[in-house]
Amino acid sequence: MAVLEDIDRARPLPRHVAIIMDGNGRWARQHRLRTRLQGHEAGAESVRAVLRAAEAIALRYLTLYAFSTENWKRPREEVEGLMELLRRFIDDNVDELCEKGIRLRTIGQTEALPERTRAALQSAIERSRDNAQLDLVLALNYGGRQELCDSVRRIAAEVAAGRLAPEAIDAETIARHLDAPDVPDPDLLIRTSGELRVSNFLLWQIAYTEFYATPVLWPDFREETFYEAIVAYQSRARRFGDVRAHT
């Protein structure tokens, strides 16, 4: 296991890390728990661990895939439990987020979330909006394809209104119309539980992102696993299509 001291401060560190938090259900089964929701509850401590690790390396942006547009297909009891778990997590941790200078943000169609969950999110977003140490971005009711569809609609509306010429549309235009246009693309994407797919997450933004997959299930993810991913990231040469490495 890597520790904080294994990270080479002389080498580039990621500015933005995104995480697909996977394996809660399997963790619950392995521990012979009654419901999958108990695995999700255990995963809440992993979020706190990642926030501690992010603070230790002065990470600027952290995006967590918390609930996808496809997750509504899960059993109603699990979905309702996830929404209540999210509400409780926000309410229980908003004071600490503010103390540590963490700004809470969301991407995705959060208007579809239950009212109590939306209210907790909005309150925490407002309370933390001036914090500048770390932007914690929760992807909620989020899908990469849906985000791109929404971006195209926004661009089409500008074209229809005469504010944008079709021939002026380029990659930067699309990026400006995404859910969080000011957030830089992830430098590193971590996926837990050993799966090797992106699951409709940040499809536009991860074009040149480094991937790191770990067999660790999300409820077992702690600072050491995060540091292992950072050490692996530092060992890679990022070329962005060039033949020369970029730092």
Catalytic residue numbers read 22, 71
Residue 18: CB atoms within 10 A of its CB come to 26
Residue 102 CB-half CA count within 13 A: 25
Structure tokens of 67?
């609930």
Q: Is the dihedral of CA 62, 65, 66, 68 positive or negative?
A: positive
Structure tokens of 17?
């890390």
Which among 122, 140, 184 is positioned nearest to 21, based on CA atoms?
A: 140
The DSSP secondary structure of 66-125, one letter per residue, reads EEEGGGGGS-HHHHHHHHHHHHHHHHHHHHHHHHTTEEEEEES-GGGS-HHHHHHHHHHH
For residues 90 and 47, give the distance between their C-alpha atoms in angstroms, rounded to a whole number: 11
- Write 166-175 long-range contacts (CB < 8 A, 24+): 174/148, 174/204, 175/204
In three-state secondary structure terms, 170 is coil
Which among 222, 194, 236, 237 is positioned nearest to 3, based on CA atoms?
A: 222
Identity of residue 211: F
